[in-house]
Structure 1
Amino acid sequence: MHILLTGGTGLIGRQLCRHWLAQGHRLSVWSRHPERVPALCGAQVKGIAHLVELSHESVDVVVNLAGAPIASARWTRKRKAQLWSSRITLTETLLVWLESLEQKPSVLISGSAVGWYGDGGERELTEDSPPVTEDFASHLCIAWEETAQRAQALGIRVVHVRTGLVLSSEGGFLQRLLLPFKLALGGPVGSGRQWMPWIHIKDQIALIDFLMHEKTASGPYNACAPHPVRNAEFAKNLGRVLHRPAFMPVPAFVLRLGLGEMAELLLGGQRAMPARLQAAGFTFKFTDLRAALDDLSARL
């Protein structure tokens, strides 16, 4: 198959490229820096700067993961506009291109996040649950899904992957935690009671591949392990794996002072469950947090 990825040079995109290259698929990555794509994604992966470069080629699958990192900078008005443009505006451009094609891809797998629900508190959240609270991250995910869903009117199967906190040794939020924990400054955030919906990178890649091949799959899927943990438990397990203490709490007021509105990403959480994935027959390799962290520990 010929697979087009946006966000192909990101943490998940790079792993998908490796996985699908090994399966013999042909890959193209739409990127602002196409010259970097072969080095980041694999020598056989084609980097393109403009979608029109593929207008005369058949594309079987589109995986839309592009988006500026949501937690890498304070949410100023300018930063919010960048986060919006990198997801919604880019997806709108993708839709215009898809509409122009005579032969449409069979499926669009589009990124989203468990932040779609807002801060869920103690509620158990499945794909049937409505958004619980309204905040910027929730509005962003809702608009992203609504935009991508328009591809269904073109006869394309649309899947939304609501990703949790991805555990990987090659980047992502786990890498940002390593320094404070290794300096014995790690610990729970705020009350430590907020739920953390996590997923091992291997399961994240496997479930996207599963949803691509599962021809009846459409709509939203919570991409997180079936056993979310509270923030304090996560900190304790990470400390044990790194052989460091994890007792240094970060007070909520300090986060709000330093991060502003973005602090609610860390102080809130989602007790999200992968109900639709499990009902579809997907099997997680990592369902226990300690086992998932142990698998990554040698590379951390």
Structure 2
Amino acid sequence: MAKNILLTGGTGFIGKNLTDLLIENGFSVSILSRSDRKNSAAVTYYKWDLTRDYIDEEAILNADYIIHLAGEGIVEKRWTEKRKKDILESRTKPVDLIFSILEKHNKTLDAFVSASAVGIYGAITNDTICTENDAPANDFLGITCQEWEKAVDKINSLGIRTVKVRTGIVLGKDEGFLKKIMPSFKLGFGAILGTGKQYVPWIHIDDLCQIYLKAIQDDQMSGAYNSCVTDDTTNESLSRTLANLLGYKIWLPKAPKFVLKIVLGEMSLAVLEGQRVSSEKLEKMGFKFEFTDLESALASCLN
């Protein structure tokens, strides 16, 4: 029988693309959903409700692998204290519940693979190229990622192989990061944010899904992996490249830092700061990116 992979966050941008890839590679897929959904030939849906600390235990007990993608969007709403709590708990609470069920039933998995983020290195901009050995930051993004990964470490304590996929900006057609900025860019109002010098660690959705597939199939993978292209893309270079692909040059002045800070509050750090990351550890495991050129990656998302 086909191995079963259970996804949290399976109905989101990454989850939908990953589900297709997993099915293409012969896996059966289960998805935890807050709403009632009809099962298909390839996908089984199970209910969960984090507000009631509830997960259908059958979903966990039937899984050979679990991939944890669920989490509230970082830049969807202003960072009030409540919003920051929701962002953190939406990432850690599912893992805690899964851990409890695994421990209760003495259930083992072939692997537990979790999303994480390069935000663990902090919302700062400098010339450092961060590796997985660098210390986490003590700002909101850094602390959130630390707690996220600590929750995953509890799964590892059960003797289950765990992989943490530290991701940055994910480029995909009509989804994710591009979905947020494309309306203004398509109208010719693309702009550079702040100084534009902040680095933007990016990855194409196809490469990200292949990383998750490799994390499932390669039992030598364990621990954290930076999952972004190692280059010097900045907000300015990304913005100018996207505008050029759409047939114009950016003409608006740079959006001032102080204005973005007033409008977005603390959340402005997520768009005004950013570091480069090294994907050397991942590539030493034999992973090869299909998209390493920003222009080509963006062009594939516009077709």
Aligned position for 2:52: none
Structure 1 residue 97: deviation in Å? 1.4
Instruction: Report the 3-state secondary structure (helix = DSSP H, G, I; strand = E; otherwise coil) of the residue aligned with 1:226.
Output: coil
Aligned position for 1:214: 218
Alpha-carbon distance in structure 1 between the residues aligned to 2:41 and 2:87: 29
Alpha-carbon distance in structure 2 between the residues aligned to 1:218 and 1:227: 24
Structure 1 residue 120: deviation in Å? 4.5
Structure 1 position 4 matched with structure 2 position 6:
yes
Structure 1 residue 279: deviation in Å? 1.0
Instruction: Map 1:1-300 onto structure 2 (within 5 A).
Output: 1-35=3-37, 44-50=42-48, 51-54=55-58, 57-118=61-122, 119-131=124-136, 133-248=137-252, 249-298=254-303
Alpha-carbon distance in structure 2 between the residues aligned to 1:194 and 1:2: 40
Which whole-Å deviations, capped at 9, do the CAs of 1:84-136 have from their partners, x for residues lacking one? Answer: 221112221111112123341111101111101002522111111222x4211
Alpha-carbon distance in structure 1 between the residues aligned to 2:180 and 2:60: 42
- The answer as to whether partners of 1:11 and 1:170 remain within 8 angstroms in 2 is no
Structure 1 residue 208: deviation in Å? 0.9
Give the paired residue count.
Answer: 293
Alpha-carbon distance in structure 1 between the residues aligned to 2:273 and 2:291: 24
Structure 1 residue 167: deviation in Å? 0.2
Q: TM-score, normalised by structure 2?
A: 0.92
Any unmatched runs of 5+ in structure 1? none
Alpha-carbon distance in structure 2 between the residues aligned to 1:214 and 1:56: 21
Alpha-carbon distance in structure 1 between the residues aligned to 2:248 and 2:160: 49
Alpha-carbon distance in structure 1 between the residues aligned to 2:26 and 2:288: 23
- The answer as to whether partners of 2:46 and 2:59 remain within 8 angstroms in 1 is no
Structure 1 residue 241: deviation in Å? 1.2
Which whole-Å deviations, capped at 9, do the CAs of 1:236-275 have from their partners, x for residues lacking one? Answer: 1111111133242211111100000000001100201212
Alpha-carbon distance in structure 1 between the residues aligned to 2:256 and 2:141: 22
Structure 1 residue 213: deviation in Å? 1.1
Structure 1 residue 190: deviation in Å? 0.4
Alpha-carbon distance in structure 2 between the residues aligned to 1:242 and 1:55: 44
- The answer as to whether partners of 1:182 and 1:244 remain within 8 angstroms in 2 is no
Greater shift, 115-124 or 266-275, is seen at: 115-124
Any unmatched runs of 5+ in structure 2? 49-54
Instruction: Report the 3-state secondary structure (helix = DSSP H, G, I; strand = E; otherwise coil) of the residue aligned with 1:9.
Output: coil
Structure 1 residue 52: deviation in Å? 3.3
Q: Residues 279, 30 of structure 1: CA spacing in aligned structure 2 closer, same or farther, 3 A cutoff?
A: same
Instruction: Report the 3-state secondary structure (helix = DSSP H, G, I; strand = E; otherwise coil) of the residue aligned with 1:154.
Output: coil
Amino acid at match of 1:130: A
Q: TM-score, normalised by structure 1?
A: 0.93
Amino acid at match of 1:222: N
Alpha-carbon distance in structure 2 between the residues aligned to 1:27 and 1:258: 41
Instruction: Report the 3-state secondary structure (helix = DSSP H, G, I; strand = E; otherwise coil) of the residue aligned with 2:91.
Output: helix
Q: Residues 34, 22 of structure 1: CA spacing in aligned structure 2 closer, same or farther, 3 A cutoff?
A: farther
Structure 1 residue 56: deviation in Å? 8.2
- The answer as to whether partners of 2:4 and 2:63 remain within 8 angstroms in 1 is yes
Structure 1 residue 53: deviation in Å? 4.2
Alpha-carbon distance in structure 2 between the residues aligned to 1:43 and 1:174: 31
List structure 1 segments (4+ residues) > 3 angstroms apart after TM superposition. 50-53, 55-58
Amino acid at match of 2:296: A
